[in-house]
A and B are shown apart, each in its own frame.
Chain A
Amino acid sequence: MSLRNVGIVYRKELTEALRDRRTLISTIIVPLLLFPILSVGFGALAVALVGKAKEETPKVMILGGEDSPEVVGGLKKLDKIEIVPAAPAWKDQIINKEVRAVVEIPPGFQSDVARQKSDTVKIYNYKEELKSEFATDKIEKYLKDYRDSVVKERLAAKNLPEAVLQPFEVKQENVAPPEKVSGAAFGGIIGYMVILLCMTGGMYPAMDLTAGEKERGTMETILSSPISRMHLVLGKFFLVLTASLLTAALSVLSMGVSFSVLHRFTENSGSQGGEAPAFLLHLGLRTVLSVFIMALPLAVFFSATLMTIALFAKTYKEAQSYLTPMTFVVIIPAIAAMLPGVELTPKLALIPILNMSLLCKELVAGTYHWNFIAIIFVSTCLYAAVALFLAIKMFQRESVLFRS
């Protein structure tokens, strides 16, 4: 095998790729901007929206309560709540977002409380509607405080300590280090991102270097040169692999930077007690390197598979229509690994993509199951070798190269 020839093809493909705006966007710009936009951008937007929702003075309606002036008076005194007159169409008003919540106080509520008869106060709201939920929370808190004060009065009247209602407490305490907690909760997303971007990063160059070449008429030109088809495929393959790994590397880098920016932001805003919140992943150099070493055979597998499929197409558009569904084939197992309770087993360790996604979850959490790592690395290398072999074979088939 002539490495010189493979290198010549690789260098030429790299030169062309660096001059192609579409390749630069898909390989460099998208992975660099995707995560900051998703995390910082959407995070800031969410904070702004929640803040705005909290600032609003919600309109609340009280149904009944004429014979319970103490409770109604308390509700009216609540900060940042506007009590509106009762109206028969209150349900529609909630749905139309004219009123955020409605409190229904049963008849004789206050006297029932005094007589120690249990009643139900209902709060009607618009479930999952942020502003309605905020209004409900305020009212509920007031009513619970009122209930607690009634309980305290009753206990005091009977000379009983408050502990009589709470003989013991139940408390959870986490002993796992923060990186394991965040890894278990969000580690799957690293695997998902690396896998997805390994594929999408290689997708455009794979199409450009195969179907694109056919469409532009340069396939016949290169086939007339003395380079062997194997060297030609390998030169092209290494470029697709470079794009795939570069995209994944840049995405992890941008993810790390985004997390660190978020970390500093939350620290500066004083919301921490010195401990990082669970959503902040701790990406050590060892973790990043482990994920990358494991992603390498997967990137080889993707690059070779993408090239094989794209080569079959006559035009760039046709290649796109073949490869776009591939994204779903990759996303499904990658997402499956993020489901709670799905963990590595010897059988799952043999399923491509899913195995890598599950492993990434463990690696990010700092767990190294060497037997699984070995199975996954070897099996993925095997799949990658088969995919590369198929790509080379496809480049030797005239019916594929000159498909009309």
Chain B
Amino acid sequence: MIEARGLSKRFQDKKRGEIRAVDNISFVCQPGRIYGLLGANGAGKTTTLRMLATILEPTDGTALVCGRDVVEQPEKVRAIVGFLSTATALYPRLTAQEMVEYFGRLNGLDEAELKKRVDDIFNRLDMNGFRDRRCDKLSTGMKQKTSIARTLVHDPPVMIFDEPTNGLDIMTARTITAFIRECRDHGKTVIFSTHIMSEVEKLCDTIGIIQSGKLLAEGTLAELRDKYSEPDLEEIFVKVVAPHYGSAEAN
């Protein structure tokens, strides 16, 4: 389970002064469910997820990931989280197998356990054809599979995906969305960010709409439709975000 409590992040910018990238947001993601963080570019999605993955430290507030505090126990949090984004690239000079093994070792797996785990994942994701190929020689789809294998190697109970399908072709994007569903079906807590409405409609059990670093609306798709009397998610999103859009631009 992920529990964000008043999570905030401020940055200092030489020209613009203080920027509130994330402003006091709280939400809960339950195991076996997918929480979708929906927002425009610059809304604060990536910063929120980076704080949950302990890549960034919150300025105020905190979050508990399976009961572990992201501020107090960042390394323990990272040990139970799988983090995937389009910005998490692969080491070009390592092979796909070496890449996955490296992260397995960093996650404390011993060699026997690691071998079993790697073989299992490579079979499951059909990666044996390119396991000894260097990452800089892989196709985009192969790279995404390797990234997935990297996040799964330690079998984390929590998965964080930051715009995982951004810039990918339809077939590769489908591999990712199938993988996200599979994570949910295995009882993992899943949070993912996107600005693509169709993805949210297809995947998310709970939706959080974020703009200017604030969580403006939250609920299931049905709850949001009821609340805003709109059947279309895009229209709901515009209704929620429009009053705050000027401040987002300023931010």
Contacts and interface: CB of A to CB of B under 8 A. Distances in A.
Interface of A: 5, 8-9, 12, 15-16, 19-20, 216-218, 220-221, 223-228, 398-399, 402
A220 B102 CA distance: 15
27 contacts: A5-B106, A8-B105, A12-B91, A12-B94, A12-B102, A15-B94, A19-B93, A19-B134, A20-B93, A216-B91, A217-B87, A217-B88, A220-B55, A220-B85, A220-B89, A221-B88, A221-B91, A223-B55, A224-B78, A224-B81, A226-B76, A226-B78, A226-B79, A226-B107, A227-B75, A227-B106, A399-B12
Given A226-B79, A398-B56, A15 B98 contact: yes
Contacts, number: 64
Interface of B: 12, 50, 53, 55-57, 75-76, 78-79, 81, 83, 85, 87-94, 98, 102-103, 105-108, 134, 150
A367 B91 CA distance: 48
B53 A224 contact: yes
A44 to B, nearest CB: 38
- Which 10 pairs show the lowest CB-CB distances between chains A and B? A217-B89, A224-B83, A226-B78, A226-B79, A221-B88, A16-B93, A19-B93, A225-B106, A8-B105, A223-B55
Contacts of A226: 75-76, 78-79, 106-108
A402 B91 CA distance: 18
B244 to A, nearest CB: 23
A220 B162 CA distance: 12
A387 to B, nearest CB: 25
A399 B107 CA distance: 26
Interface centre among B57, B78, B87, B93 (most CB of A within 10 A): B93
Nearest to B82: A224
Contact of B88 (A5, A19, A220): A220
B75 A228 contact: yes
Contacts of B92: 216
B228 to A, nearest CB: 35
A225 B89 contact: no
A224 B55 contact: yes
Contacts of B75: 226-228
B105 A221 contact: no
A397 B88 CA distance: 19
Given A220-B88, A398-B57, A225 B93 contact: no
Contacts of B83: 224
A183 B98 CA distance: 49
Contacts of A221: 88-91, 150
B91 A225 contact: no
A218 B90 contact: yes
A374 B126 CA distance: 60
Contact of A225 (B56, B57, B98, B107): B107
B87 A220 contact: yes
A8 B79 CA distance: 16
Given A221-B150, A398-B57, A16 B91 contact: yes
